[in-house]
Amino acid sequence: MAVATETKMITLTIDGQKVTVPQGTIIFEAIRTLGKTVPHYCYDRDLSIVASCRLCFVEIEKVPKLQPSCSTPVNEGMVVYTNSEKVLEARRMQMEFLLVQHPLDCPVCDQGGECKLQDYSLKHGTEDSRFRFEKRTYPKPDIGSLIDLERNRCILCSRCVRYMDEIAGSQELALVARGNDTYISTFMDEPLKNEFAGNTIDLCPVGALTSKVTRFRTRVWELRDKPSVCTLCSVGCNINLQYRNRTHEILRVVPRGKRSGELPVDM
Ligand code: SF4
Ligand code: SF4
Ligand code: FES
């Protein structure tokens, strides 16, 4: 007979507020229970944790260095600060670092208006760049008729790679090379074949992976959501039909949750 074991609960303090969560919870999710979040790129609760973007840093009392909230479990009595001067400074530095090689493409980038790099740069970045050299550029591969890959805009968060590997079940995307030369690629630059590959468009926090079907047909601020249910199979996933405000023409179908604002990007 199976014996039910009680989950131990942990109480910690986040920005002066007490919160109680099950043991093993990461600080990032504990913060979420307070209805807020910290800036993040690589973390997604449905994917494995890599803690590579270093943007979700928090300060913990009695811990000398800032810790990534997405990979640090809670502890009894922990005192966490998400907006201390140390944290804000680390975020500024990390945003500057992410933008070192990033092109100034926003006016011609289809992600404009729903880009986490734009949002976080405005909120947490600096106004100027100290990088005065030529930016690194990569050739643009053709990865199929549905998805456009613009490598120069990739921030190497590996969400798309982990999604393809862990959920779609095919290792068709990879981060290739090392260090400053790392870039995102399909296997041998071949087109993506997996039928779930389109979800990477919604998972990519920037304009590196965009839809060839809808790109340049509208700007995201012209779109409105209409909740619906997908009818392509018997599962009936929740979707949002996105239509142009003025003409009511349906332009995009997106999963409800990810792109439709399940998580507040501001913080
Ligand atoms: S990915 Fe974001 S920040 Fe980069 S060019 Fe596109 S909209 Fe601008
Ligand atoms: S293509 Fe997008 S999701 Fe994939 S690693 Fe680059 S930024 Fe992340
Ligand atoms: S979200 Fe925590 S390190 Fe990227």
How far, in Å, is the centroid of ligand 2 from the Cα of 2?
A: 43
Q: How far out from the chain centre does Cα 148 lie?
A: 18
Instruction: Give the pLDDT band of residue 126 (cuts 50, 70, 90).
Output: confident
Q: Nearest C-alpha to atom 3 of ligand 2 is from which residue?
A: 204
189-201 per-position pLDDT tens digit: 899 999 999 999 9
Q: What is the mean pLDDT of the chain?
A: 92
pLDDT score recorded for residue 2: 64
Secondary structure class of 248 (helix, strand, coil): coil
Per DSSP, 5 falls in state P
- Cβ–ligand 1 contact at 207 (below 6 Å): yes
* Least confident range of 35-44, 98-107, 122-131: 122-131
How far, in Å, is the centroid of ligand 2 from the Cα of 5?
A: 40
Q: What does 83-126 look like in DSSP terms, one character per residue?
A: S-HHHHHHHHHHHHHHHSS--S-GGG-TTTTS-HHHHHHHHHS-
Distance (Å, whole) CA 18 – CA 41: 26
Distance (Å, whole) CA 218 – CA 251: 8
- Cβ–ligand 1 contact at 158 (below 6 Å): no
Distance (Å, whole) CA 227 – CA 259: 13
Q: Is the pLDDT of residue 260 over 80?
A: no
φ, ψ of residue 223 to 5 degrees: the values are: -90, 145
pLDDT score recorded for residue 121: 94
Ligand 3: nearest atom to the Cα of 53: 4
Q: Nearest C-alpha to atom 2 of ligand 2 is from which residue?
A: 204
